[in-house]
Amino acid sequence: MRLMEVILASKRGFCFGVEDAIELAQNTIESNPTGEVIALGPVIHNKQVVHQLQTEGLDQSGDLEEIPAGHTLLIRSHGAPPEIHDRAEQRNLNVVDATCILVKKAQNVVRKLHEEGYQVIMIGDRQHPEVIGVIGYAPDVIVIDSEEEIDEVLPHRGKLGIVAQTTHAPEHVADMIGAICARPFREIKIVNTLCLEVIRRQEAAVELCRDVEVMFVLGGLHSANTRELARLCVDQGMITFHLETWDDFRSDMVAGKRVAGVTAGASTPDSVINHFVENLKRAQPASV
Ligand code: F3S
pLDDT tens string 10-45: 999 999 999 999 999 999 999 987 768 999 988 888
Stretch among 72-81, 95-104, 149-158, 175-184 having the lowest mean pLDDT: 149-158
d(CA 103, CA 109): 10
**Is a pLDDT exceeding 70 seen at residue 108?**
yes
In this structure, the residues whose C-beta lies within 6 A of any atom of ligand 1 are: 15-18, 77, 100, 102-103, 166-167, 195, 197-198, 225, 266
What is the pLDDT averaged over residues 174-178?
A: 96
Q: Report pLDDT for 156.
A: 73
Q: Which of 20, 97, 100 to mutate to test the pocket of ligand 1 (most atoms within 8 A of CB)?
A: 100
What is the pLDDT averaged over residues 101-107?
A: 98
Q: Provide the pairing of β-strand 72-75 with 119-123.
A: unpaired
Contact of 64 with 86, CB cutoff 8 Å: no
Q: Which atom belonging to ligand 1 lies closest to the Cα atom of 266?
A: 7
Per-residue pLDDT band at 138 (split at 50, 70, 90): very high
Per-residue pLDDT band at 288 (split at 50, 70, 90): low
Q: Report pLDDT for 287.
A: 63
**Is a pLDDT exceeding 70 seen at residue 135?**
yes
d(CA 155, CA 240): 40
Q: What is the mean pLDDT of the chain?
A: 93
What count of other Cβ atoms lies within 10 Å of the Cβ of residue 282?
Answer: 9
